Amino acid sequence: MNYPNGKKPSQQLKKVGSSRTSFSNRGMTLEEDINETNLFYLHSNKAIIHKKPTPVQIVKVDYPKRSAAVIKEGYFKQASTTDYNGIYRERYIDFEAKETKNKTSFPLANIHEHQISHMLSICNHGGICFMIIRFAVHDETFFVPAVKLFPYWESQYNGGKKSIPYNKIKEAGELIPFKYQARVDYLTIIDQLYF
């Protein structure tokens, strides 16, 4: 019996096994992993978390064909806040996701002042606010509560480092294990820390 692609089952298994030898070669970005996780949460009725759209002002559009419009020029309407928000167990959730190829630290230049201000407001209003930081080289993803980021942010303006060392991220954050359906299962960490 052959599969629809015409290959025998043994050929099919060989191909699958050889193309996915480790989790580090899965080819997903952090954003894609979080989007898949959020879809799983939504479909399993665990939480409603969405990626915030970036507000863009479209200025010039070209219509080469009636069925294909091409945006030629556009501008961001305003600075974006964080990447994701939603609700889980009757609590407001708001977070930013960042990925770095740096081995030894997370550069604070990856975060913007208005994002920190937004995160501080969320915390002050009782929301659950955090960052998900992936160190691509180590293939590790961390859940870091926003309140643990604020001291590092302030320190850079008082002669401190302009990055957070990898070992400090490990201390301040929680390692998020890779799972099949919930690839970045941050709700498990929220359950441990907040409920």
Query: Does residue 100 have a known ligand-binding role?
Result: no
Query: According to the annotation, is 115 in a ligand binding site?
Result: yes
78 is in an annotated binding site: no
End-to-end Cα separation, the chain, in angstroms: 51
Other C-beta atoms lying within 10 Å of the C-beta of residue 132: 25
Would you say 81 is a known binding-site residue? Answer: yes
Taking the alpha carbons of 138, 143, 148, 151 in that order, is the dihedral positive or negative?
positive
Angle, CA 134 vertex, CA 131 and CA 138 arms, to 5°: 150
Binding site listing = 81, 83, 96, 115
Binding site listing for Mg(2+) = 81, 83, 96, 115
